[in-house]
Amino acid sequence: MQDLARQAMEEGALGIGSSLIYAPAFYANTDELIALCKVAAEYGGMYITHMRSEGNKILEAVDETMRIAKEAGLPAEIYHLKAGGKSNWPKMDQVIVKIDSARAAGLRITTDMYTYIAGATGLDASMPPWVQEGGYDAWAGRLKDPKIRTKVLAEMRSDAPGLGKPLLRRRSQKTCFWSNSKTIP
Protein backbone atom coordinates (compact mmCIF):
# COMPACT_ATOMS: atom_id res chain seq x y z
CA MET A 1 0.00 0.00 0.00
CA GLN A 2 2.84 2.40 0.77
CA ASP A 3 4.24 1.87 -2.73
CA LEU A 4 0.83 2.69 -4.21
CA ALA A 5 0.59 5.79 -2.02
CA ARG A 6 4.07 6.87 -3.14
CA GLN A 7 3.14 6.33 -6.80
CA ALA A 8 -0.07 8.33 -6.37
CA MET A 9 1.79 11.19 -4.68
CA GLU A 10 4.36 11.23 -7.49
CA GLU A 11 1.47 11.36 -9.98
CA GLY A 12 0.05 14.45 -8.28
CA ALA A 13 -2.21 13.24 -5.47
CA LEU A 14 -2.75 15.78 -2.71
CA GLY A 15 -2.64 13.28 0.15
CA ILE A 16 -4.43 10.35 1.74
CA GLY A 17 -8.20 10.35 2.12
CA SER A 18 -10.30 8.00 4.22
CA SER A 19 -13.97 7.39 4.78
CA LEU A 20 -13.77 5.27 7.89
CA ILE A 21 -17.51 4.82 8.37
CA TYR A 22 -17.86 3.04 5.04
CA ALA A 23 -16.78 -0.38 3.77
CA PRO A 24 -14.08 -1.32 3.11
CA ALA A 25 -12.32 1.63 4.76
CA PHE A 26 -13.57 0.81 8.26
CA TYR A 27 -11.28 -2.22 8.22
CA ALA A 28 -8.20 0.03 8.15
CA ASN A 29 -6.49 0.32 11.50
CA THR A 30 -4.83 3.43 12.84
CA ASP A 31 -1.26 2.18 12.40
CA GLU A 32 -1.96 1.35 8.75
CA LEU A 33 -3.29 4.86 8.18
CA ILE A 34 -0.24 6.38 9.88
CA ALA A 35 2.07 4.37 7.61
CA LEU A 36 0.27 5.57 4.49
CA CYS A 37 0.18 9.14 5.72
CA LYS A 38 3.93 9.11 6.38
CA VAL A 39 4.38 8.54 2.65
CA ALA A 40 2.07 11.45 1.82
CA ALA A 41 3.98 13.63 4.29
CA GLU A 42 7.19 13.04 2.32
CA TYR A 43 5.52 14.86 -0.58
CA GLY A 44 3.88 17.64 1.41
CA GLY A 45 0.51 15.88 1.36
CA MET A 46 -2.26 15.91 3.91
CA TYR A 47 -4.70 13.51 5.54
CA ILE A 48 -8.37 14.09 4.78
CA THR A 49 -10.99 12.02 6.60
CA HIS A 50 -14.59 11.19 7.16
CA MET A 51 -13.81 10.06 10.68
CA ARG A 52 -14.52 6.59 12.06
CA SER A 53 -17.46 7.93 14.08
CA GLU A 54 -19.62 11.02 14.11
CA GLY A 55 -21.79 9.55 16.85
CA ASN A 56 -21.14 7.95 20.20
CA LYS A 57 -17.40 7.58 19.53
CA ILE A 58 -16.82 11.05 18.06
CA LEU A 59 -14.29 12.06 20.74
CA GLU A 60 -12.26 8.91 20.10
CA ALA A 61 -12.50 9.51 16.34
CA VAL A 62 -11.12 13.05 16.72
CA ASP A 63 -8.29 11.65 18.85
CA GLU A 64 -7.53 9.06 16.16
CA THR A 65 -7.44 11.73 13.44
CA MET A 66 -5.10 13.89 15.48
CA ARG A 67 -2.86 10.92 16.28
CA ILE A 68 -2.56 10.05 12.59
CA ALA A 69 -1.64 13.63 11.67
CA LYS A 70 0.83 14.01 14.52
CA GLU A 71 2.61 10.68 14.11
CA ALA A 72 2.74 10.94 10.32
CA GLY A 73 3.84 14.58 10.38
CA LEU A 74 1.25 16.07 8.08
CA PRO A 75 -1.80 18.34 8.27
CA ALA A 76 -5.29 16.87 8.61
CA GLU A 77 -8.77 17.88 7.53
CA ILE A 78 -11.94 16.49 9.10
CA TYR A 79 -14.77 16.38 6.59
CA HIS A 80 -18.22 17.55 7.67
CA LEU A 81 -17.55 17.95 11.37
CA LYS A 82 -20.74 17.15 13.27
CA ALA A 83 -22.04 15.14 16.17
CA GLY A 84 -24.56 12.65 14.88
CA GLY A 85 -27.54 11.98 17.08
CA LYS A 86 -29.12 14.41 19.50
CA SER A 87 -27.54 12.65 22.50
CA ASN A 88 -24.10 13.48 21.03
CA TRP A 89 -24.70 17.17 20.32
CA PRO A 90 -23.29 18.25 23.70
CA LYS A 91 -19.98 16.60 22.74
CA MET A 92 -19.31 19.29 20.13
CA ASP A 93 -17.93 21.64 22.79
CA GLN A 94 -15.37 18.98 23.74
CA VAL A 95 -14.57 18.31 20.08
CA ILE A 96 -13.90 22.00 19.43
CA VAL A 97 -11.72 22.26 22.56
CA LYS A 98 -9.71 19.22 21.41
CA ILE A 99 -9.17 20.69 17.96
CA ASP A 100 -8.37 24.19 19.23
CA SER A 101 -5.91 22.77 21.78
CA ALA A 102 -4.19 20.67 19.13
CA ARG A 103 -3.91 23.70 16.84
CA ALA A 104 -2.49 25.78 19.69
CA ALA A 105 0.09 23.03 20.25
CA GLY A 106 1.15 23.23 16.60
CA LEU A 107 -0.87 20.48 14.92
CA ARG A 108 -2.16 21.59 11.55
CA ILE A 109 -5.77 20.40 11.65
CA THR A 110 -8.80 21.94 10.00
CA THR A 111 -12.43 20.98 9.54
CA ASP A 112 -15.38 21.82 7.39
CA MET A 113 -19.06 21.78 8.20
CA TYR A 114 -22.17 22.10 6.21
CA THR A 115 -24.52 24.74 7.49
CA TYR A 116 -27.78 22.85 7.38
CA ILE A 117 -29.34 20.25 9.63
CA ALA A 118 -29.99 17.60 7.00
CA GLY A 119 -27.48 14.99 5.99
CA ALA A 120 -27.31 12.10 3.58
CA THR A 121 -25.51 8.81 3.42
CA GLY A 122 -26.01 5.26 2.32
CA LEU A 123 -27.74 2.74 4.53
CA ASP A 124 -24.47 0.81 4.53
CA ALA A 125 -22.99 3.39 6.92
CA SER A 126 -25.46 2.18 9.54
CA MET A 127 -24.96 -1.52 9.01
CA PRO A 128 -22.42 -3.46 11.05
CA PRO A 129 -19.13 -4.21 9.29
CA TRP A 130 -19.45 -7.98 9.68
CA VAL A 131 -22.54 -8.13 7.44
CA GLN A 132 -20.71 -6.27 4.65
CA GLU A 133 -17.63 -8.51 4.59
CA GLY A 134 -16.78 -10.01 1.22
CA GLY A 135 -18.34 -7.30 -0.93
CA TYR A 136 -21.83 -6.52 -2.13
CA ASP A 137 -22.83 -9.98 -3.34
CA ALA A 138 -21.88 -11.64 -0.03
CA TRP A 139 -23.56 -8.83 1.88
CA ALA A 140 -26.80 -9.05 -0.11
CA GLY A 141 -26.74 -12.82 0.23
CA ARG A 142 -26.48 -12.58 4.02
CA LEU A 143 -29.40 -10.17 4.18
CA LYS A 144 -31.66 -12.76 2.53
CA ASP A 145 -31.50 -14.74 5.79
CA PRO A 146 -34.27 -13.53 8.17
CA LYS A 147 -32.16 -14.36 11.25
CA ILE A 148 -29.29 -12.25 9.97
CA ARG A 149 -31.65 -9.38 9.09
CA THR A 150 -33.03 -9.48 12.64
CA LYS A 151 -29.51 -9.38 14.09
CA VAL A 152 -28.46 -6.53 11.77
CA LEU A 153 -31.54 -4.49 12.65
CA ALA A 154 -30.93 -5.01 16.37
CA GLU A 155 -27.33 -3.78 15.99
CA MET A 156 -28.44 -0.80 13.91
CA ARG A 157 -30.74 0.23 16.76
CA SER A 158 -28.03 -0.19 19.39
CA ASP A 159 -24.89 1.55 20.53
CA ALA A 160 -22.80 -1.32 19.15
CA PRO A 161 -19.14 -0.39 18.65
CA GLY A 162 -17.99 -0.03 15.08
CA LEU A 163 -21.13 1.64 13.78
CA GLY A 164 -20.22 5.07 12.53
CA LYS A 165 -23.80 6.14 11.98
CA PRO A 166 -26.35 4.20 14.03
CA LEU A 167 -29.08 5.66 11.85
CA LEU A 168 -32.08 3.71 13.03
CA ARG A 169 -31.37 4.40 16.69
CA ARG A 170 -31.43 8.15 16.29
CA ARG A 171 -33.94 8.72 13.51
CA SER A 172 -37.65 8.33 13.18
CA GLN A 173 -40.01 8.37 10.26
CA LYS A 174 -40.65 12.02 11.07
CA THR A 175 -37.00 13.01 10.61
CA CYS A 176 -35.76 10.61 7.96
CA PHE A 177 -36.37 10.63 4.23
CA TRP A 178 -35.75 7.25 2.59
CA SER A 179 -34.94 6.97 -1.09
CA ASN A 180 -33.25 4.61 -3.46
CA SER A 181 -31.55 4.73 -6.79
CA LYS A 182 -30.41 2.21 -9.31
CA THR A 183 -26.90 2.06 -10.64
CA ILE A 184 -26.74 3.20 -14.21
CA PRO A 185 -24.28 1.13 -16.27
What are the structural domain ranges in the chain? 2-111, 123-170
Question: Cα separations (Å) of 34 from 31, 65, 134, 176?
Answer: 5, 10, 25, 36
Measured CA to CA, the distance from residue 55 to residue 170 in angstroms comes to 10
What pLDDT is recorded for position 124?
Answer: 77
Question: Cα separations (Å) of 93 from 76, 89, 134, 166?
Answer: 20, 8, 38, 21
Give me the phi and psi of 78, to 5 degrees please. -95, 120
In the predicted structure, residue 181 carries a pLDDT above the cut 90? no
| Segment 36-58 mean pLDDT | 95
| Segment 166-177 mean pLDDT | 56
User: Out of 1.10.287.40, 3.20.20.70, 3.20.20.140, 3.60.110.10, which CATH number does the structure's domain 2-111 have?
Assistant: 3.20.20.140
In the predicted structure, residue 170 carries a pLDDT above the cut 90? no
Greater confidence (109 vs 168) lies with: 109
Greater confidence (11 vs 132) lies with: 11
Give me the phi and psi of 132, to 5 degrees please. -95, -5
